[in-house]
A and B are shown apart, each in its own frame.
Chain A
Amino acid sequence: MNRNAILALLGVVLLGFVPFVMDDFFINLTSQILCYALFAVSLNLIVGYGGMTSLGHAAYFGIAAYGVTWLHTVAGWGQLSSAIGAVAVATFTAAVFGVLALRASGLSFLMITLALGQIVWGVAYRWVGLTQGDNGMRFPVRPEPLGFNINGATSFYYFSLIVFVVSVYIIWRVVQSPFGAGLRGTKDQPRRMRMLGHNVWMIRWVAFIMSGFWAAIAGLLFVYYQKFVSPYTVSLQQSAEVLLMTILGGAGTLTGPMVGAVIVTLVKNVASSYVERWNALLGLIFVLAVVFMPTGLVPGFRKLWKRRTAPPPASTPALTAKPSTEHAS
Chain B
Amino acid sequence: MQFWLIQTLNSIAFGGLLFLLSSGFSLIFGLMRMPNLAHGAFFMLGAYFGATFMNWGINFWIAALMAGLVVGGLGIVLERGLLRKLAGNAQGQVLVTLGVSFIIADVCLMVWTGDPVPVPAPQWARAPTFFIGYAFPTYRLVVLGVAVVAAVLLYILMERTRLGAMIRAGVDDMEMARGVGIRVSLLFMMVFLLGAALAGLGGTIGGPIMQAYPGLDQDMLPLALVVVILGGVGSLLGAFVGSFAVGFIYNFGTALFPDFAYVILFLPMVAVLVLMPQGLFAGARQ
Q: Do A and B come into direct contact in the complex, CB within 8 Å?
A: yes
Residues of A within 8 A of B (CB): 53, 55, 100, 103-108, 110-112, 114-116, 118-119, 121-123, 125-129, 235-237, 240, 243, 247, 277, 279-280, 282-287, 290-291, 294
Q: Kindly provide the distance from the CB of A200 to the nearest chain B CB, expressed in whole angstroms.
A: 14
Tell whether B263 is near chain A: CB-to-CB under 8 Å: yes
Tell whether B90 is near chain A: CB-to-CB under 8 Å: yes
Of the listed stretches B127-135, B178-186, B194-202, B268-276, name the one at the interface; the rest are far from the partner chain. B268-276
Instruction: Specify which of B101, B102, B105, B225 is in contact with A111 (CB 8 Å cutoff).
Output: B225
Is A280's CB under 8 angstroms from B260's CB?
no
Tell whether B98 is near chain A: CB-to-CB under 8 Å: yes
Closest to A291 in B: B85
Is A107's CB under 8 angstroms from B286's CB?
yes
Q: Kindly provide the distance from the CB of A254 to the nearest chain B CB, expressed in whole angstroms.
A: 21
| Mask: chain B, 220-256; 1 = CB below 8 Å from A; 0 = not | 0010011011000000000000000000000000000
Residues of B within 8 A of A (CB): 33-35, 37, 82, 85-86, 89-92, 94-96, 98-103, 105-107, 109-110, 218, 222, 225-226, 228-229, 258-263, 265-266, 269-270, 273-274, 277-278, 281, 284, 286
Is B222's CB under 8 angstroms from A118's CB?
yes
Is B96's CB under 8 angstroms from A286's CB?
yes
Bound together, the chains give a CA A287 to CA B95 distance in angstroms of: 7
Q: Kindly provide the distance from the CB of A46 to the nearest chain B CB, expressed in whole angstroms.
A: 13
Q: Which of B103, B229, B258 has the most CB of A within 10 A?
A: B103
Q: Kindly provide the distance from the CB of A126 to the nearest chain B CB, expressed in whole angstroms.
A: 6
Is A280's CB under 8 angstroms from B103's CB?
yes
Is A115's CB under 8 angstroms from B266's CB?
yes
Mostly, the A contact residues are: helix
Bound together, the chains give a CA A108 to CA B92 distance in angstroms of: 14
Q: Kindly provide the distance from the CB of A263 to the nearest chain B CB, expressed in whole angstroms.
A: 15
Given known A108-B284, A129-B259, A247-B95, contact A114–B102 (CB-CB < 8 A): no
Instruction: Specify which of B86, B105, B263, B273 is in contact with A122 (CB 8 Å cutoff).
Output: B263
Closest to B107 in A: A280
Is B262's CB under 8 angstroms from A110's CB?
no
Bound together, the chains give a CA A291 to CA B100 distance in angstroms of: 12
Given known A107-B90, A108-B284, A290-B86, contact A115–B226 (CB-CB < 8 A): yes
Residue contacts A-B, CB under 8 angstroms, 30 given:
A100-B270, A103-B278, A107-B35, A108-B284, A110-B35, A111-B35, A114-B222, A115-B225, A115-B266, A116-B266, A118-B218, A123-B260, A126-B258, A127-B260, A129-B259, A240-B98, A240-B102, A247-B95, A279-B106, A280-B107, A282-B99, A282-B102, A283-B103, A284-B99, A290-B86, A290-B92, A291-B82, A291-B85, A291-B96, A294-B92
Closest to A122 in B: B262
Determine the chain B residues whose CB is within 8 A of the CB of A108 once the complex forms: 281, 284, 286
Bound together, the chains give a CA A287 to CA B258 distance in angstroms of: 36
Is A110's CB under 8 angstroms from B270's CB?
no
Is A286's CB under 8 angstroms from B98's CB?
yes
Bound together, the chains give a CA A103 to CA B281 distance in angstroms of: 10
Q: Kindly provide the distance from the CB of A272 to the nearest chain B CB, expressed in whole angstroms.
A: 13
Given known A240-B102, A283-B102, contact A290–B259 (CB-CB < 8 A): no
